[in-house]
Amino acid sequence: MSTLMIAIVFAIIGGVLFTLIGVVSGSDETAVLVPFTLIVVLLGTPPEAVFAFFMSAILAKHLTHAIPTALMGVPGDTLAAPMLEHANFLRRIGLPHIALRKMISGGVIGAFIALPISLLFAMFLSQFGEFFQENAGIIFTAAAVLIGYFSKGRWVSVLLILPVALIFQGLGLISSSILDKSLSISFFLGIAIGPMLVDLLLATSKSARPMVEKKEMNEYKLAPEKKAWSGYFPNPFKVLTKKQAGQVAGTSFLSSFTFALSPVGMTSLMGELIGSRIKGQYKKATSSLATMNGVTESTYVAETIIPLVAFGIPLSPVTLGPASALFNAPPVYSTDPVHNLHTMLEPMDFFIYGLIGLMIAALIAYPFSMNYARKATVFIMKKVNQEAIIGMFIGIVCLLAFYEGELTGVLVTFAVAVVGGMLNRFLGLGVGVQFMIYYGSSWMITTLLG
């Protein structure tokens, strides 16, 4: 089978899989994207197909995460949280279907704008790539301090950088002395599933269970589904007004350059920037939702492509979390020395296979969300057990950790997950900061302790 056909097949798999996962409310991007991307890489998939799979997955997930956000008032994932206020307003006045259509139409437009813009910007920045690679250790350390300061924990996050780096290096030393090789996948997986695993541990602990226990069942009221177009494929430019399409295009263009900033922060910032200039609550809510979901897509695409094409090392919040497997997936990909999609693909490959991934995801997830949002939500709520989904991810994580380091890999994954998850849950040490600490830990400990 040719590389092109393999890329198309994996893009379809990514589009279908993450269209369904996106409907599940609260599905964390890092916890679901990292394990599946790792599986695709470790299967020996060509780098072109890996990239097409990832681009299809992120667009599909961010289109369908709008379904629980708009129809149920529950954020589909972290990036959907800033949209809740406007989505809830439209739900209260009986127009959740309008909120949904505006959000996913803005998302489709934002993704296709971000791909060429971010690629051109990455090609410009690539002249500095050698400098970034040679100074990766100190750059990761500085980034950990910066991101930690702006995280929920603020000074506590900064204070914890060196102790956590020592824990990572200590676990790495113990595991390498047992296995005669270094582990890295096990560390990524542990950081990614930490918050989810800690919630499970709290639920199984008699003394801690009251922290996560709920006295009453959640109740959701779903609005009726109304179709306002003919055929199966609606046109996103007809769903948005000309002014809204222009706002989405403008904010997506701007956010395609901000690869080092938080996607959640950019989503909130651009939404407020547009909303503050509009009078009338209905116009403000619909325009803000279209803009915000467009920005979630554009920042995700840009934050993946720019570090990947320009530097080959993860230097954005997205590449430190959901896209980390595109940089480090030993023994296939590594950042020290740089041997990953950065060295395997040309800029034109990124454009062609990225476009394939986005187009296939748009063809799968966009009409699905527009036509079957309510039915899919009802099916997920009634038939799919949330605990079963979490159990599936835990099983995949165990499989990948065992593949890398047998029982030692599994234990390292859970040790990192428990420590990282507890620090995240109780002290606000974000997952992105933990990834930065892991990447910079070798430089920190070697420089400070010898």
In three-state form (DSSP H/G/I as H, E/B as E, the rest C), the secondary structure along 126-191 is HHHHHHHHHCHHHHHHHHHHHHHHCCCCCHHHHHCHHHHHHHHHHHHHHHHHHHCCCCCHHHHHHH
Q: Supply angle C-alpha 202, 203, 209, rounded to 5.
A: 75
Cross-strand pairs, 334: 339
Q: Is 273 exposed, middle or buried (0-12, 13-18, 19+ CB in 10 A)?
A: middle
What is the total count of domains within the chain? 1
Residue 423: inside a domain: yes
Domain range for residue 81?
A: 3-212+233-449
Residue 403: inside a domain: yes
Q: How many residues does the chain have?
A: 450
Residue 133: inside a domain: yes
Phi and psi torsions of 55, nearest 5°: -65, -40
Residue 217: inside a domain: no
Nearest Cα neighbor of 236 from 367, 327, 328, 410 is: 367
Residue 227: inside a domain: no
Nearest Cα neighbor of 82 from 247, 275, 218 is: 275
Residue 223: inside a domain: no
* One-letter amino acid of 255: S
Residue 360: inside a domain: yes
Structure tokens at 262: 């938080």
Please say whether the beta carbons of 61 and 362 come within 8 A.
Answer: no
Residue 434: inside a domain: yes
Q: What is the pLDDT along the chain (450 residues), one digit of tens a residue?
A: 788 999 999 999 999 998 888 777 656 677 778 888 988 998 889 999 999 999 999 899 888 877 777 776 666 666 776 777 788 787 777 777 788 888 888 989 999 999 999 999 989 888 877 777 677 778 778 878 887 887 778 899 899 999 999 999 999 899 989 888 778 778 877 887 888 888 888 888 888 888 877 777 766 666 666 666 667 777 888 888 888 889 889 988 888 887 766 676 677 777 777 877 777 888 888 888 889 888 888 888 998 999 899 888 887 778 877 888 898 888 888 877 888 888 999 999 999 999 999 999 999 988 888 887 777 666 766 776 666 767 777 777 887 788 778 899 899 999 999 999 899 888 888 877 887 788 788 888 888 776
> For 222, which DSSP code?
P
User: CA 58 to CA 33: how far, in whole Å?
Assistant: 8
User: CA 150 to CA 167: how far, in whole Å?
Assistant: 23
User: CA 63 to CA 218: how far, in whole Å?
Assistant: 24
